[in-house]
Amino acid sequence: MRCIPSPPGGRWNHGPGAHVASRFRSRGGFTIIEMLAVVAVIGILATIAYVRLHSQKEKATVAAMTSDLRAIAEEQEAHYFQNRFYSSDLVALNANPSPGDTIVIVEATASGWSGRIYNPKTTKQCYIVIGQATPIGSATSDGGISCS
């Protein structure tokens, strides 16, 4: 077997128009395929960033709903110690929920209360049950806030 050395520059000339093609290749710039690849990578990264941002927003909304339920639970306890019954009136409880949050007192008696909170920014709702109130949603333990 015989070795044939490559020509200077490492390219073989295969015909009369070969120098024209090499002239276009030596120009600076990007091909359409390279540009499409970059756009595709940027699109994938933007999608990942959007999903993470949306997830963080939902976590913040759920945290605000949980905080609002805790605040209502404290107000309910203060109302109970003054009046010996739980209230279903949010005005009497000085309710001040976060923007977008809606609190609903489902049951309020002298032996317990239950409530839920929701926000249109998320599909999750949070629930709380205190005392002998009928459990609602995913809340089953006394005093525990549960979101689902």
Which of residues 38 and 9 earns the better pLDDT score? 38
In a domain, 73, yes or no: yes
Cβ contact 40:29 at 8 Å: no
- What is the enclosing helix (H) or strand (E) of 141? none
Residue 104 has pLDDT above 70, yes or no: yes
Cβ contact 130:112 at 8 Å: yes
The model carries a pTM of 0.70
In a domain, 49, yes or no: yes
In a domain, 87, yes or no: yes
Residue 19 has pLDDT above 80, yes or no: no
Q: Per the structure, how many domains does the chain have?
A: 1
Report d(CA 117, CA 120) in Å as an integer. Answer: 10
- Boundaries of domain holding 51: 31-147
User: In the prediction, which pLDDT does 140 show?
Assistant: 85
* Residue 113 token pair: 């209360």
Nearest to 130 by CA among 72, 50, 47, 52: 72
Report d(CA 86, CA 115) in Å as an integer. Answer: 11
pLDDT in tens, 30-77: 999 999 999 999 999 999 999 999 889 999 999 999 999 999 999 999
In a domain, 5, yes or no: no
User: In the prediction, which pLDDT does 10 show?
Assistant: 57
* Residue 69 token pair: 């339920």
Task: Over range 131-136, report the average pLDDT.
Answer: 93
In a domain, 16, yes or no: no
